[in-house]
Amino acid sequence: MKLATLTAVVLPLFMGMVTPAKAESKSPIQRLLETKQCQGCDLSGANLAGADLSHADLRGANLNQANLSGANLFGANLSNTNLNNANLINSNLFEANLSNCNLERAELANANLSLINLSGANLNRANLSNANLGIANLSEANLRQANLNGANLIGANLKGASMDGANMQGANVDYASLNQENLVGKKGD
């Protein structure tokens, strides 16, 4: 009887000390850097400066106030993401998909945005000074009060884009597709 009582008390204690090893859960940033997959992730305020995120899938992610300066986002899918107040200065977004993105007040100065899809994107008050938007799709985009000073818009599609109050001083719009409405309320020549 003593052995049975001792076993009944000691065995559960011993079993309690032996626990299966748990896999450490990775942060969304670690997962993104390792797999380049993070659809719908909350990456608000994340520091991803200089990160290689080429061909990453970030559809629907929250990158509000994220630092992506100098990041390589070549061919990345950022459709429907929130990049409000994000820092994308000097970033490479060549052939990226940012359709229907919120880029309000985003910093995109000197960024490579050529062949990018920004259709339906909100770029209200975004800084796109000296950005390369050659052959970019900006159809139906909101560019109200955006800073496009010195931007390259050669061959860009701006049909249906709202550009009220946009700073276009020094911007190159050669061969761009524009509607007469695009020119209403723009600043500069």
Confidence of residue 26 (pLDDT cuts 50, 70, 90): confident
Give tens-digit pLDDT for 68-111.
999 999 999 999 999 999 999 999 999 999 999 999 999 999 99
What does pLDDT average to over the chain? 88
In the chain, the N- to C-terminal Cα span, in Å, equals: 98
pLDDT the model gives residue 178? 80
Predicted pLDDT at 38:
96
pLDDT at 3 over 80: no
Flag the least confident range among 18-32, 41-55, 78-92: 18-32
Please provide the DSSP assignment of the chain as one string: -HHHHHHHHHHHHHHHH--PPPPPPPPHHHHHHHHSB-TT-B-TT-B-TT-B-TT-B-TT-B-TT-B-TT-B-TT-B-TT-B-TT-B-TT-B-TT-B-TT-B-TT-B-TT-B-TT-B-TT-B-TT-B-TT-B-TT-B-TT-B-TT-B-TT-B-TT-B-TT-B-TT-B-TT-B-TT-B--GGGGTT-B--
* Confidence grade of residue 14 (pLDDT, cut at 50, 70, 90): very low
Question: Exposed, middle or buried, 12 (CB in 10 Å: 0-12/13-18/19+)?
Answer: exposed
Q: What percent of the chain has pLDDT over 70?
A: 82
Tokens of 139: 């159809």
Nearest to 144 by CA among 166, 174, 119, 172: 166
What is the rounded average pLDDT of the residues 8-18? Answer: 49
